[in-house]
Structure 1
Amino acid sequence: MTVLTPADFPRAFADAWHSRDGQRIGALFAKDADFVNVTGLWWRNRADIAQAHDYALKSFFAQTTLKPGVITTRQLGPDHAVVHCRFHLSGQLAPDGAPAGDRVTILVFVLHRTSDGWQAVTAQNTDVVPGKETHLNAGTLKAVDYRDR
């Protein structure tokens, strides 16, 4: 899949997501790319990125819709860019198979231009937790807002 501009990358990622084929997601990444998911799992090459997404897209993300929202791009020269995209995810299944609530995430992609278009060299996904400032580990990790004190 050829990505013509950095701003096209989030749509290409969502299209690959909707194919339910982890190899299509992997193809968007450089061979030695890495990806950190919302829980801190860190995949360190295209094959691992593809395998992890393939598993998720065929199980708890099998019925999801991933919609890109606000996209910003910052060129770091003619062949490198940083792209941020706010995504809306719906249709995730809970561990018991019940529907889970919708989520909003921000994915950050660092891209480089290749002869085949733009590819990600790294990506990091962060859940958006409205109204919270940080996480607190008091036996159980939970989002908190210190301004409420």
Structure 2
Amino acid sequence: MTIARGRGAAAGDPDAGDGRPRAGDGQGTAQPGNDSAAAVADAHRREWAFVLAATARVAGDIDLAEECVQDAYVAALDAWSRQGVPRNPGAWLTTAARRRAIDALRRESTLRGKLPLLVEPVPPVAGSSPPAPASGEDDVIPDDRLRLVFTW
């Protein structure tokens, strides 16, 4: 008796379930090192616009999205040459680019929150006077004519 899983697949079928790679199945269709550069080039031709659009939705910034997509393609060259080409290169690239965008947004948010903590106020030196204000009514210009020259 066979128990169906996923989309009607048999229990022993390696493609059963949600289509994600399983442990021990090589994580993809190609063997590691077999023409990964050609697979990345093919994925770029087929999937670039979709990956960029999906990443831009997450990032909210097209420049950040383009940078993250480029990083994902570089990571694909490295990972696919070692682990083989995944079954769905577009999904792999989209996931990698979106995660990079989320990481960049988190890094930026953390920096904005922590940057004021990095700036230490300089304590006043004993015996020194505070710096003169740059502009406004607090300026001390003794001559009215000079004040007119410097204001206009």
TM-score, with normalisation over the residues of structure 1? 0.26
Larger helix proportion of the pair:
2
Larger Rg: 2
